[in-house]
Structures are given as structure tokens and as C-alpha cells.
């Protein structure tokens, strides 16, 4: 991977990680169009630059992360379902990641759902407190995003709204939950890479690319989160729904035309 490819892919990661549009589908298109061959380093790169995106949440919402122990208790409760299922079905999840058709289908299905989300969950509660029951429900919703193309952001935000949280509060809890979830997922894959001598050397030889990717992903994710919160509060999900449908359709067309979109 050269530096231009690195910057473009990191921009895609930063833009899509926290928006309800599936970073997986966008990575498939971006890396294929850029001619990035699927190999050990490509897989490692797409995982490692998530740390830059994670850091953006911690920086933007730093005060929330130091406000109380209860905050972490709610995050732990919401994180546990995905942690348990992720460990139990990690091999099956990896298999699904190799299915471009699944990603495209979930983008389209999720897009159709998002056209109606604002009306389905228009009623909000005066009490916007995140209880442990609400946190656990959002945590189970997050498990749905183990199906590639669903979007972790979409699943958790819709889960929060179904508990009568406002769009803004549901989105912010989704961001917070991304920190332990993405850290655990990326850390687990990193550990597997570092236990292999060849993979470890590959990471060491491309350290400059990894650092650049994380910096770009961090900066873009900061801007994307700020944009998303403002846009979502004013306009809702419909635009993201139509966008998902278009992207899913594009992936299917490219696949049927013979283009290899496999990057995982």
C-alpha cells in the first residue's frame, strides 16, 4: 500500500465507522477500486486504523468518560452480549465477512428499514437516563451488527431509539459503546497477528503506513461525528437509508460484472 492508498482508505474508515452506513461495505469498494490486493497486511491495516477512530470518541467526549463509575458500568453491560457471542462465533463471523452478497443485501435491507425509523420511533421519553436494562437491550442490538453490512452504528442507534431515547442520545451512546467493542475486536485480532512471526514483521516494516492511517482516521472521524450528530438531530435517518440502498446496489452490480470486491 502506498501513502495515497493509505490516506484514502483511512478517510473511508473515519467517515463510515460511526455513520449508520457500514464501514465494511465501503472498505470493499474503496480497496477494490484502488487496486489494493487482499493480503495479511491489508487485513491488519483495516483493523489497526480503527484505533484512530476510537480515539476520536474519547477526545470528543472526554468529560463523559471521566464523569462516573456508573458510566462504565452501563458500557460494560451493553458490551457483554457482543463480547460473548463474538468469542463463540468468531469463525462464523469471519466466514460472513468473506460474503460480498451478504454485505450488499444487509446494506439494502438496513437502508429500507432506515427509511421508516424516524416514524417508527418518533415517541421519546422525558427521562433520558440510560438504565442498565436499556443498556443491555442496546447491547443485544449490537450483536445483530455481527452480520457484515448491518452497521454497528445503525443497530445500536435504532436499539436506543426503540427505548425512547432521542436520536442524539441514542447516537452518542452508540459512540461510547464503540470504544470497548472496537477496542476488544481490534485488540483480539492484533494479538493474533502479533503471535505470528511473519505477521509481526510485516507490521513492523509498515509502521509508517499504520501511523499515518491512524492519524487520518482520527481526524476524519472527529469531523464525521460532529457532522452526524448535527445532521441526525435536524433531518433524521432517511438520507442514510437511501444512501445504503444505493451503495448495496452498486456492490451487487460490481460483483455481477465480475469485479472482485473481496478484501477480508
DSSP secondary structure string for all residues of the chain: --HHHHHHHHHHHHHHSSSTT-HHHHHHHHHHHTTPPPSHHHHHHHHHTHHHHHHHHHHHTHHHHTS-HHHHHHHHHHHHHHHHHHHHTHHHHHHHHT-HHHHHHHHHHHHHHHTTHHHHT----S-----HHHHHHHHHHHHHTTSTTS-HHHHHHHHHHHTT--HHHHHHHHHHHHHHHHHHHHHHHHHHHHTSHHHHHHHHHTHHHHHHHHHHHHHHHHHHHHHHHHHHHHH-SHHHHHHHHHHHHHHHHHHHTT------
Q: Give the pLDDT mean for 227-246.
A: 94
Examine the pLDDT at 11 and tell me if it is beyond 60: yes
Q: Give the pLDDT mean for 218-241.
A: 94
Examine the pLDDT at 204 and tell me if it is beyond 90: no
Q: Give the pLDDT mean for 27-49.
A: 81
Tens-digit pLDDT profile for residues 77-93: 999 999 998 888 777 77
Average pLDDT in the chain: 89
Query: In this predicted structure, which of 122-126, 217-221, 258-262 has the lowest mean pLDDT?
Result: 258-262
178: nearest Cα among 223, 145, 137: 145
Q: Kindly state the helix (H) or strand (E) to which residue 174 belongs, with its residue range.
A: helix 167-194
Tens-digit pLDDT profile for residues 106-157: 999 999 999 999 999 989 999 999 999 999 999 999 999 888 889 999 999 9
Task: Find out whether 24 and 106 touch, Cβ atoms under 8 Å.
Answer: no
pLDDT for position 262: 59
pLDDT for position 4: 92
pTM tops 0.85, yes or no:
yes
pLDDT for position 203: 80
Tens-digit pLDDT profile for residues 48-84: 899 999 999 999 999 999 888 999 999 999 999 999 9
Examine the pLDDT at 37 and tell me if it is beyond 80: no
Amino acid at each position: 500500500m502506498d501513502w495515497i492508498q493509505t490516506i484514502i482508505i483511512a478517510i473511508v474508515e473515519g467517515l463510515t465507522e460511526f455513520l449508520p452506513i457500514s464501514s465494511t461495505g465501503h472498505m470493499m469498494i474503496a480497496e477494490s477500486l484502488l487496486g489494493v490486493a487482499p493480503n495479511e497486511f491489508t487485513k491488519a491495516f483495516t483493523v489497526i486504523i480503527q484505533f484512530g477512530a476510537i480515539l476520536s470518541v474519547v477526545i470528543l467526549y472526554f468529560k463523559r468518560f471521566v464523569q462516573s463509575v456508573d458510566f462504565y458500568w452501563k458500557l460494560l453491560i451493553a458490551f457483554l452480549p457482543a463480547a460473548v457471542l463474538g468469542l463463540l462465533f468468531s469463525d462464523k463471523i469471519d466466514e460472513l465477512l468473506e460474503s460480498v452478497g451478504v454485505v450488499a443485501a444487509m446494506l439494502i435491507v438496513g437502508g429500507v428499514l432506515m427509511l421508516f425509523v424516524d416514524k417508527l420511533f418518533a415517541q421519546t421519553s422525558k427521562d433520558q437516563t440510560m438504565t442498565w436494562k436499556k443498556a443491555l437491550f442496546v447491547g443485544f442490538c449490537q450483536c445483530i451488527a455481527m452480520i457484515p453490512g448491518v452497521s454497528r452504528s445503525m443497530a445500536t442507534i435504532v436499539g436506543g431509539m426503540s427505548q425512547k431515547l432521542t436520536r442524539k442520545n441514542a447516537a452518542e451512546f452508540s459512540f461510547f459503546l464503540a470504544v470497548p467493542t472496537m477496542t476488544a475486536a481490534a485488540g483480539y485480532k492484533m494479538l493474533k497477528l502479533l503471535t505470528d512471526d511473519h505477521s509481526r514483521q510485516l507490521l513492523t516494516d509498515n509502521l509508517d503506513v499504520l501511523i499515518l492511517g491512524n492519524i487520518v482516521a482520527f481526524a476524519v472521524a472527529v469531523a464525521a461525528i460532529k457532522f452526524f450528530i448535527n445532521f441526525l438531530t435536524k433531518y433524521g435517518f432517511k438520507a442514510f437509508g437511501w444512501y445504503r440502498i444505493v451503495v448495496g446496489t452498486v456492490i451487487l452490480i460490481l460483483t455481477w460484472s465480475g469485479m472482485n470486491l473481496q478484501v477480508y
